[in-house]
Every structure is written in structure tokens, then in C-alpha cells.
Amino acid sequence: MPTSLTHAKRADRELFEETLRVVRRLELRSADYRTRVERLDAGVTFDSKSETFLIDQVGQPRYEIGLQDISSAGQLLDWILQLHGKPWIRDSQIRAFLAAVNDVCGEYKGSSAQGVFCPSGAAKEVDWSQKFEET
């Protein structure tokens, strides 16, 4: 009898843990969806074919930033400051650009932007041609 009770408790615990994993994944997907909608509303997208960030400008062609032009924390900071200095840029677009960079880091490298560019504060060069390498 104790054996079947132990198995039942173990099965309940495994079911509970699997349920928690599913709920966490759904919560992450929901947050990811909201972030992507906010990015689209701000006019910031990432074209995976050309590997280019596209930022809408009123009455002008989209502003383009190539992924290969962001291969270090210094270069990322430079692009953020360049965007900040543009008279047409909105704060929501800068936030959306950062969210897009973070998403691309997750898709290409399996980590956040911080984990890709400066894990534990150590500056790192990024080779975008190597997907899912050790970051």
C-alpha cells in the first residue's frame, strides 16, 4: 500500500511540475506577443532575410540597421545613441529597437541581449553567423 501511495504522490508531483512548465511557457509567449505588438505599433521590425532592423520614419524611407553592424556592446550603444539623436525618433521606437535586439539575441543565440553582448559585465564580440553558440 505505501508503494502505490508513493507512486501516486510522485505522479501527482510530476503532473504538477509539468503543468507549471506549460503555464510558464504560455506566460512567456504572451509577454513575447505583447512585446512584438508594441514593436509593430512603434514601427520597428526585424527582416530576417536581410538581417536588418527597420525603423519607420514619417515621410521618409525606413531607417535600416544591419545586424552585422551590431557585433559588440560598444556598437550597440553607438546605435542607441545615434537613434536618440535623430529628430524624428520617438522614445517608444528606441524601446522597441532594444526589444527587437533582445528578441534577435534570443532567436540567434539563445540568450538575452545582456547575455550575448556583456555577460557578467564582460564585453564580448558577437559572430552572428554562428547561431546558438556558447554565450
Residue-wise pLDDT for 19-60, tens only, equals 766 666 655 555 555 556 566 677 899 999 999 999 999 889
In angstroms, the CA 27 to CA 11 distance is 24
Is residue 17 one of the residues assigned to a domain?
Answer: yes
For residue 58, tell me if it sits in a domain. yes
Model pLDDT, residue 58: 85
Question: 126 in a domain, yes or no?
Answer: no
User: Has residue 128 been placed in a domain?
Assistant: no
In a domain, 86, yes or no: yes
**Residue 127 lies inside a defined structural domain of this protein:** no
The residue that leads in pLDDT, 126 or 1, is: 126
Copy the grid coordinates of residue 15: 503532473
* Contacts (Cβ under 8 Å, ≥6 apart) of 74: 123
What is the total count of domains within the chain? 1
127: pLDDT strictly greater than 50: yes
Residue 13 lies in a domain: yes
Instruction: Quickly state the pLDDT bin for 82 (edges 50, 70, 90).
Output: very high
Domain span at residue 13 reads 2-121
Asked if residue 33 is part of any domain, the answer here is yes
